[in-house]
Amino acid sequence: MIEERPDRSAEVVLLGRSNVGKSTLMRELTGHSFDTGRRPGVTQAANHYDWAGPDFVLTDLPGFGFMEGVEESRREEIKTAIVQYLEEYADEILVGILVLDANSAVEIIDRHEDRGEIPHDVELFGFLQELGIPTVVAVNKMDKAEDRDETLDAIAERLGLHPPWKQWQDTIAPITAKRGSIDPLTEAVGNHLREQKREELLQFFS
């Protein structure tokens, strides 16, 4: 893991609220366990997982949203840094993976909307679309979801994707990162890479 972005023309980024399981997923995707020593909110830099040969980098953007002991102003800075990163590298980013927690996403989105605020997840999902970055929403912790279809339909609806969620399998990928159950995500990412004639990068997602 390095903090300086390597000069690569192909990139996949992971983003998500803090505690959704992004590090767990990163570990699953790369087969590597890294102790980044990154405490929530401490760094606003991205972590890059790079390979020696291929012109490809997998980037883990810092977690956003509420973090125990992290001030609001600091959290805003982190979100701004994420937005700037996406803008700057939009041409290189082939796929964005927005990670959500199946069991809290809807409640958090609704709470913000009730207050008249735009929820971060909704905003960033829209922003990725605006930038033309194909996006997969990895709905994690499905092992704890009570009603699978109900949960996924509710999330789809909040993101402006007309339910049933099953119509959106290239966009919505239910996973349980902790158990390594991430096939829907690798399939969806694979489809987006194939569309961009970059199927050779699929080897990094198995």
Summarize as ranges the residues that interact with ligand GDP (CB under 6 A): 16, 18-24, 63, 140-141, 143-144, 176-178
Smallest gap from Cβ 123 to ligand GDP, in A, equals 18
Smallest gap from Cβ 182 to ligand GDP, in A, equals 9
Closest CB to ligand GDP among residues 32, 144: 144
Nearest-Å Rg of the Cα atoms of the chain is 16
How far apart, in whole angstroms, are the C-alpha atoms of residue 49 and residue 127?
24
Tell me which residue has its CB nearest to ligand GDP: 21
Buried b / exposed e over 72-109, threshold 16 CB at 10 Å, is eeebeebbebbeebbeebbebbbbbbbbbbbbebbebb
Closest CB to ligand GDP among residues 148, 194: 148
Smallest gap from Cβ 97 to ligand GDP, in A, equals 12
How far apart, in whole angstroms, are the C-alpha atoms of residue 78 and residue 168?
29
Closest CB to ligand GDP among residues 15, 189: 15
